[in-house]
Amino acid sequence: MTTETAPRPGDTSPPAEAPRDAVVAVGVTKAFGGRGKTRRAVDRVTLHVRRGEIYGLLGANGSGKSTLIRVLSTLLIPDAGEVRVFGRDVRSEELAVKRLINRVSVDASFFKKLSAMENLVYAGRLYGVAPGVAREKASRILRRLGIAEERVDEPLEKLSRGMQQKVAIARAFLTAPMLLLLDEPTTGLDIRSKREVQTFVRDLRDEHDATILLTTHDLDEAERLADRIGILHEGRLVAEGTSAELRARYGAGALEDVFMTATGTRLDDADMAEGPAT
């Protein structure tokens, strides 16, 4: 548990003395279903994400990564446990938490008939960013992500999946979140787009005071981006540490071996067994 003082109710500003932990989740449980068919998607997960770090949450499809991200995003209310984002409770201080976070999900979630710029200006407005500022900032981020100037006014449905995902990342950074939740941001991207997005995420973390919680089922991505890695299996956090710590702890030469030892299954096999992400 963190030791920061509780912020005042209704206060939506980040705490003056921001806590060392960006995310504190204690005993978080979320189950779905009913009539005797309840399934625990997240099972008593406790984790701390330090301010300024990239924390990689590694797990197969159906391991509970996206459910946990949704709990942190205030989109799901946990059945049990406590979640604080920079000291603010996701349940009782929902609006304050929302102001501190942004999320990129595996599906880009845009108004596809609107252009990239229209979507970004709209998103900026929702976070109190003036349209002029949003346009200027969005242009800069999109340029950096390799999206040509002449494409930003095209309807998003005409952009490739990779470009849409880059726009989603631009949207998240546009609002300067203190905590960025990246839920499988590179799934479905070609190798080049994947590399560009990964470089951008790393660069932005280095340049800004952002904490990033990244979910992935890509071992290479976790290794490449994350300062620390947590392995989620069947809703439970079964291992946690830096890549080197995990390899040392499990006596493994590669992260893939760590995953297999910690979960008893290979990541690819688990993905096939579980089907789509939850």
Q: Is 137 in the site for other proteins (CB under 8 A)?
A: no
Nearer Cβ to other proteins, position 99 or 224?
99
What are the E-state strand segments in the chain? 21-32, 39-50, 54-58, 80-85, 88-89, 101-104, 179-183, 211-216, 228-233, 236-241
87: left (phi > 0), else alpha (psi -120 to 50), else beta? left
Residue 240 tokens read as: 């946690």
Q: Which residue stretch of 91-99, 145-153, 191-199, 201-209 sits at the interface with other proteins (rule: CB under 8 A)?
A: 91-99
CB of residue 157 to other proteins, shortest distance in Å:
10
CB of residue 84 to other proteins, shortest distance in Å:
17
Q: Which residue has the tokens 């800069």?
A: 140
Q: Is 176 in the site for other proteins (CB under 8 A)?
A: no
Handedness of CA 142, 171, 187, 114 (dihedral sign): negative
Q: Which residue has the tokens 């068919």?
A: 37
Closest CA to 232 of 66, 53, 35, 4: 66
Nearer Cβ to other proteins, position 95 or 272?
95
Binding mask 115-134 for other proteins (x = CB under 8 A): ---x---xx-xxxxx-----
Q: Is 107 in the site for other proteins (CB under 8 A)?
A: yes
CB of residue 54 to other proteins, shortest distance in Å:
21
CB of residue 223 to other proteins, shortest distance in Å:
29
Q: Which residue has the tokens 């996206």?
A: 66
Nearer Cβ to other proteins, position 32 or 250?
32
Residue 142 tokens read as: 């999109």
CB of residue 168 to other proteins, shortest distance in Å:
9
Q: Which residues bind other proteins (CB under 8 A)?
A: 12, 32, 70, 73-77, 79, 95, 98-99, 101-103, 105, 107-114, 118, 122-123, 125-129, 155
